[in-house]
């Protein structure tokens, strides 16, 4: 099976490279650091903790865990690998002392170069990144792997069970710290040994908003005076149509309302800006080099930066989280909850189901099915600010019992690094 997989991937790699080139026309960062994609990283002899987080959200989720590991094992160098330019930028921002590179293509030669040059003591992989040659290479080079904040959908179980014996061999070297009991059972169903699977929770629940973000949000809010403000964060194409349609309905009742729009992917910033321009509406754009958004007449702020989504949530009265009105599966519902804001989301929440259930049970979040329902929910919170404050506090309090995933996950990694324990476990 591994041979067939490798041959197929070898055939597809030129097409993958072509796709990078095409994406590079829109986002130049995809044309950078190509050698890393083939395992050509600077060699090191330093003992290294390797953390892989596919994109920006996973990089941010890794912070509480990495802080614990760094505090208990300060002599270890840190390597963070990612798969996207957004993830790379986020990692460079959050881990200025770390080496940050792209994970190589899952071909044997690329993987071999990676392990020979990096020589990690352990590999910590966030969520569900199962790469056959990478996992086999870890075995060959004696590198234990820990899959953290691990999740597996019911649909994926069916696919993996078709090749269960192969998947079981891949997972034989992997310790799995699952998000939930259901995820743990699914990993066992595809061949993971129960003795190597534990339930540690979702690292995203441990996110703490930095004081610098709170201060920036307060500055934004002061510039908005008493305007009612809502955020649509991590939005996708088509979904933005619904968001803008909802905003029109909100403006009909609240003419001074402001929508802060934060598209999910940087290449789409220009596309969304053109959409706003074509619509003839008053809008402003915040770019990475701007000190602030300064157009007081704008009824839409487009945030064309990385790393400011939580700041936008904190500056608003209500938050809608994208990837949920389109069949993406949802993005991080906990970020607005962490700043005590009511959380709205669509019905497509397969990637964030536990988060959605926790928030809805607390009345800190609610599902909206379309633009009309989204507009109605936003207007309800604008009409009754006290209702919004209570919902925001409920959302914040709802996530507190689920914190502690980082400390529990630490205990699954520490045996590979030493016997020390975190002070707050």
Summarize pLDDT for 348-403 with one digit per residue, the tens.
998 899 899 999 999 999 999 999 999 999 999 999 999 999 999 999 999 999 99
Closest CA to 202 of 49, 342, 337: 337
Yes or no: is domain 211-402 CATH 3.30.40.10?
no
- Backbone φ and ψ for 286, nearest 5 degrees, come out as -100, 120
What are the residue numbers of the active site?
58
Helix (H, G, I), strand (E, B) or coil at 110: helix
Strand 145-150 to strand 283-287: parallel, antiparallel, or no bridges (unpaired)? unpaired
Residue 321 DSSP class = E
Ranges for all domains in the chain classified under CATH 3.40.50.2000 = 211-402
Residue 204 DSSP class = G
Where are the extended beta strands (E) located within 190-317?
Answer: 197-199, 229-235, 258-263, 283-287, 300-304
Helix (H, G, I), strand (E, B) or coil at 178: strand
Measured CA angle at 267 (ends 261, 268), to 5 deg: 40
Residue 25: per-residue pLDDT: 75
Alpha-carbon dihedral angle through residues 331, 156, 361, 235, given to the nearest 10 degrees: 20
Closest CA to 314 of 233, 408, 194: 233
C-alpha distances (whole Å) from 342 to each of 48, 268, 360, 420 are 41, 26, 10, 39
Residue 365: per-residue pLDDT: 97
Is 306 buried (19+), middle (13-18) or exposed (0-12) by CB count in 10 A?
middle
Residue 17: per-residue pLDDT: 85
C-alpha distances (whole Å) from 396 to each of 83, 209, 217, 320, 401 are 31, 12, 17, 15, 10
Residue 419: per-residue pLDDT: 45
Ranges under pLDDT 70 in the chain: 289-294, 418-425
Q: pTM (2 decimals)?
A: 0.87
Q: How many CA atoms lie within 13 A of 100 on its CB side?
A: 22
Cα 209 from Cα 352, distance rounded (Å): 20
Contact 374, 351 (CB under 8 A): no
Burial 47-56 (b: 16+ CB within 10 A, else e): ebbbbbbbbb
- Backbone φ and ψ for 147, nearest 5 degrees, come out as -90, 115
Fold classification of 37-201+404-416 is Rossmann fold (3.40.50)
Cα 160 from Cα 170, distance rounded (Å): 11
Cα 319 from Cα 305, distance rounded (Å): 18
List the structure tokens of 71.
Answer: 């505090």
Cα 331 from Cα 153, distance rounded (Å): 15
Cα 264 from Cα 247, distance rounded (Å): 18
Helix (H, G, I), strand (E, B) or coil at 316: coil
pLDDT digits (tens, 9 = 90+) for 162-204: 999 999 999 998 999 999 999 999 999 999 999 999 999 999 9
DSSP states along 39-63: T------S-EEEEE-SSHHHHHHTH
């Amino acid at each position: 099976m591994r041979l067939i997989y490798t041959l197929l991937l070898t055939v597809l790699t030129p097409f993958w490279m072509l796709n990078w080139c095409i994406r590079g026309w829109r986002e130049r960062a995809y044309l950078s650091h190509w050698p890393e994609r083939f395992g050509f990283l600077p060699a090191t002899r330093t003992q290294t903790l390797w953390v892989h987080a596919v994109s920006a959200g996973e990089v941010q989720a890794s912070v509480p865990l990495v802080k614990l590991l760094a505090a208990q094992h300060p002599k270890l160098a840190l390597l963070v690998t990612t798969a996207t330019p957004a993830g790379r930028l986020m990692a460079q921002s959050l881990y200025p002392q770390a080496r940050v590179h792209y994970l190589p293509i899952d071909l044997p030669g690329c993987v071999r170069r990676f392990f020979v040059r990096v020589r990690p003591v352990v590999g910590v992989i966030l969520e569900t990144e199962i790469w056959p040659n990478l996992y086999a290479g870890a075995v060959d080079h004696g590198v234990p792997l820990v899959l953290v904040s691990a999740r597996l959908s019911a649909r994926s179980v069916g696919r993996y069970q078709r090749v269960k014996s192969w998947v079981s061999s891949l997972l034989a070297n992997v310790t799995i710290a699952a998000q939930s009991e259901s995820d743990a059972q699914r990993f066992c169903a595809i061949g993971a040994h129960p003795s190597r699977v534990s339930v540690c929770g979702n690292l995203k629940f441990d996110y703490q908003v930095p004081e610098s973000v709170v201060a920036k949000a307060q500055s934004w809010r002061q510039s908005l005076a008493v305007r009612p403000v809502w955020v649509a964060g991590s939005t996708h194409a088509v979904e933005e149509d619904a968001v803008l349609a909802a905003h029109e309905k909100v403006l009909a009742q609240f003419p001074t309302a402001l929508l802060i729009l934060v598209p999910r992917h940087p290449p789409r910033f220009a596309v969304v800006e053109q959409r706003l321009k074509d619509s003839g509406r008053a809008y402003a754009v915040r770019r990475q080099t701007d000190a602030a958004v300064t157009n007081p007449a704008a009824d839409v702020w487009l945030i064309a930066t990385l790393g400011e989504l939580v700041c936008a949530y904190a500056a608003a009265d209500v938050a809608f989280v994208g990837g949920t009105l389109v069949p993406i599966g949802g993005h991080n519902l906990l970020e607005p909850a962490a700043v005590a804001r009511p959380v709205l989301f669509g019905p497509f929440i397969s990637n964030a189901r536990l988060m959605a259930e926790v928030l809805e049970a607390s009345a800190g979040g609610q599902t909206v099915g379309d633009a009309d329902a989204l507009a109605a929910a936003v207007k309800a919170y604008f009409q009754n600010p006290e209702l919004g404050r209570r919902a925001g506090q409920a959302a914040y309090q709802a996530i507190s019992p689920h914190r502690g995933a980082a400390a529990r996950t630490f205990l699954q990694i520490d045996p590979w690094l030493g016997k020390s324990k975190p002070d707050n476990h």
